[in-house]
Amino acid sequence: MAAALGITSAHLVTAYQIHSATVVVADAPWTREHAPRADAVVTRQFGLAVGVTTADCGPVLLADAEGGVIAAAHAGWRGAFEGLIEETVATMVRLGARRERLTAAIGPLIRQANYEVGPEFVTRFVAADPANQRFFAPSAREGHAKFDLPGYILERLMRAQVGRFEDLSHCTYADAAQFFSFRRATHRGERDYGRHINAIALVDEPG
């Protein structure tokens, strides 16, 4: 991946992910052993790539190419619910990005048809905002629902006033030939599951 991004492997950094709304800024490379506990990494350093690992959660890559600020966010339901997207964008703005110039891409993640959740999950979201009901569809199991994680992430991107965004429309659970999935592996009783890495780099000097 580092070679594809045009950097050395030592200049690809990821955080120790904790399903939070915590964002860190990378001013220089760090080793995996010294990775900060966070769920988004922002940088404006030329030649540095920032990444997140996923296996059903939503990877979100953001860039202000003109301002020279990039970010990678690990947007599971908890991080997105607690404001990870908005905090990532706010951190980028503090480093010189402008919201209207930002472009965001949502990578492969579990999609609504395969994301069944329990009643307490629905209650949490609707209690926070009754309009969140639109992100849930009926499930065949009584008391359960299907959650639209990418739709919810897109809503939070719009709330953060991101200028442009794209959903790649891939489902990790449904496409076993291409993607790892924690939930699919659990349903199949598999001992472990793979992880994707999703990364972005500044390879050209801004301006």
Give tens-digit pLDDT for 47-76.
999 999 999 999 999 999 999 999 999 999
Residues 167 and 82 in one domain: yes
Residues 103 and 116 in one domain: no
Q: Is residue 154 part of a domain?
A: no
Q: Is residue 184 part of a domain?
A: yes
Residues 126 and 192 in one domain: no
Instruction: Please determine, for residue 193, whether its predicted confidence score (pLDDT) is greater than 90.
Output: no
Residue found by looking up tokens 């600020």 in the block: 69
- Please tell me which residue, 118 or 205, carries the higher pLDDT value: 118
Instruction: Please determine, for residue 206, whether its predicted confidence score (pLDDT) is greater than 80.
Output: no
Q: Is residue 157 part of a domain?
A: no
Mean pLDDT of the chain: 95
Residues 188 and 133 in one domain: no
**In the prediction, which pLDDT does 192 show?**
82
38 contacts 15 by C-beta, under 8 angstroms: yes
Residue 63: give its domain's CATH number: 3.60.140.10
**In the prediction, which pLDDT does 191 show?**
84
Residues 87 and 167 in one domain: yes
**In the prediction, which pLDDT does 187 show?**
94
Which of 27-31, 71-75, 153-157, 191-195 has the least mean pLDDT?
A: 191-195
Burial 78-87 (b: 16+ CB within 10 A, else e): ebbbbbbbbb
3-class DSSP state of 157 = helix
Count the domains in the chain: 2
**In the prediction, which pLDDT does 207 show?**
54
Mean pLDDT of 19-43: 96
Instruction: Please determine, for residue 203, whether its predicted confidence score (pLDDT) is greater than 90.
Output: no
Residues 71 and 172 in one domain: yes
Residues 32 and 117 in one domain: no
Residues 51 and 76 in one domain: yes
Which range marks the domain in which residue 127 is found?
A: 112-147
Tokens of 154: 């897109």
Q: Is residue 155 part of a domain?
A: no
Q: Is residue 153 part of a domain?
A: no
Residues 106 and 117 in one domain: no
Q: Is residue 73 part of a domain?
A: yes
H/E element holding 65? none
Q: Report pTM.
A: 0.94
Residues 6+ away with beta carbon under 8 Å from 18: 37, 38, 39
What distance in Å separates the CA atoms of residue 135 and residue 141, rounded to the nearest whole number?
17
Q: Is residue 156 part of a domain?
A: no
Residues 191 and 129 in one domain: no
Q: In Å, how far from its chain's centre is CA 16?
A: 14
What distance in Å separates the CA atoms of residue 104 and residue 12, rounded to the nearest whole number?
19
3-class DSSP state of 120 = helix
Residues 56 and 128 in one domain: no
Q: Is residue 139 part of a domain?
A: yes
Residues 30 and 57 in one domain: yes
